[in-house]
A and B are shown apart, each in its own frame.
Chain A
C-alpha cells in the first residue's frame, strides 16, 4: 500500500463508509474526513420517518460515537471544501486551510431541488435533507393542523404518512399522475395511493402550485396551479435533488448528471474517486448507462468498492441496487431497477397490503417491488444478483411462490 493519505470530502453515508471500510481493510495511512455539517456523521433515512415521530433519539442516528474516530485515526474536519487544487493534490477549505491528498474521494451527496415559487422562503416551508431540517420541522409537524406536501416521491410520502399519524389534515400536490411514478410500477403506486387515502391523506395529481401565501411571516395557504387556495400552516416539499457537483465542475472533472465516474468509480482524474448520491456511474442493471442512484445501499456498496480498490483489490462495481421506504405500517422494498419494464406479475394480496410486483423487461426479470413481503424481497435480491431465468409466464402461474422458486433455483 503506497497511498500515504486519503482525503474524503463529504461525511455522509458514503464518506463515512469509505473511511470505515478503509480501516477495516487494513489501511494504515492518514484518513481525513471533511464534512460541512455539525456533529458526528449520521444516517438520513429516519429523518423523514421514525426520528420525526420521536421513535428514535438523536444518538440513534449516529453511525459511530466520537471515540471511534479517535481510535480508528479518522480525522474528522468540520469544514467545507471550497476548491480542489489537482496540480498540487490539495483540497482547499473554506477556513483557508489546505489538506494534501494522494487520493481524493468525493462523497458530497446532493441537495434538495428548491421550490421555485413565491413564498418558498417562509419559515414553515421545509425540504428534509439534514438533521437540522428534521429538528426544526419536528415541533411544527406535531403542532400542524393543515399540512401541504409538494411532491409524491418517497420523502414527500414518508412525511405525509408521519403528518397524518400526528393528526394533521394532509394534502399532497403532485405534478405526475400517480405516487412515486418515477420509481415504482403502476400497481404499487395504486396500493400506496389507497393506503394513504385510508390514513386521511388527500391527493391532487397533475397539480402544481403557483405560490405560498403568508400572513405576518407565517404560511397560511398554498395556491394550487388551478387557482385554489389550500389552507396550510406547514409545507414540506420533496421534488428531487441536485447533485453537489460544483467542486468537481470547478476542478474540471467530467460531469454528466453528477460527477461522471467509470466502472471502478474513478473520475476523469485517476487520483479522484466519486460515489454515492453525487456520482453518475455505468450501471450494470441499467444497460451500463450512466446512472445516479440515491440510496443507502448505493452509498455503502460503492464505498466498499472504492475502499477495496484503494487497497489493491479493484473490481468493476456491479452490486444489485436495493432500496426501502417506510410509510405508515407499509414497508416497501425494491430490488433491482424497473426502468423500462414492459410487463408485471403481481403476487400476494392487495387487501392485506402484502404484495410483490415482479417487473419484467423483454421477459427478463429486472426488479421486484415488495410491500410488507420481506421474504420476497430477500429472495428477489438473491435471484437478481445472478442473471435471472424466471419468466413472466412462469411467475404468473397459479400458486407461484417467489421464495420457493429461489430455493429451487440456487446453484
Chain B
C-alpha cells in the first residue's frame, strides 16, 4: 500500500495509505484529510479536489489533460503543479508522494 503525505495550507501533515488503483482524492477523503470536499465524487465535474503535487514528485505524474486541464483553469489559485486529485490514480511509483492543499477549494 503506497503512503501519501498531504500537507494542509496551514502546515498540518497527514500520512495516508492508499490502494493501488484508488484515486488520490478517495484515499484522502477516506482518511478524513480536511479541505477536499470533492463534491462530484470523482466525476471530474466540480474542481473541489484540487491539490498541488510536490515539485519533487512531478516526474511521477503526467500533466493534466483535456477535461481535467479545462476544469483546473477555474480551480482556486491554479499553479503549474495543480492536479485534480480524483483524476490521479495511485500506483506503486507514488509511494511517498507529497501533495499540498490549496487554501480554499471555492
Contact = CB atoms under 8 A, between A and B. Distances in A.
Interface of A: 24, 43, 45-46, 56, 60, 63-65, 68, 71-72, 296-297, 300, 324, 326, 331, 333, 372-375, 378-379, 381-382, 403
B22 to A, nearest CB: 7
Interface of B: 22-23, 26, 29-30, 32, 34, 37, 39-45, 47, 67, 70-71, 73-74
Given A71-B32, A378-B73, 13 more contacts: A43-B41, A60-B22, A60-B23, A60-B42, A64-B29, A65-B30, A296-B39, A296-B40, A297-B39, A300-B37, A331-B44, A374-B44, A375-B73
28 contacts: A24-B34, A45-B40, A56-B42, A60-B22, A60-B23, A60-B42, A63-B29, A64-B30, A64-B32, A65-B30, A68-B32, A296-B40, A296-B41, A300-B37, A300-B39, A324-B40, A324-B43, A324-B45, A326-B43, A331-B44, A331-B45, A331-B67, A333-B45, A374-B71, A375-B70, A375-B73, A378-B71, A379-B74
A300 B47 CA distance: 15
Contacts of A297: 39
Contacts of A63: 29, 41
A381 B23 CA distance: 26
B70 A60 contact: no
A139 B76 CA distance: 41
A381 B70 CA distance: 14
B70 A378 contact: yes
Contact of B47 (A56, A372, A378): A378
Nearest to A379: B74
Contact of B74 (A300, A372, A378): A378
A60 B71 contact: no
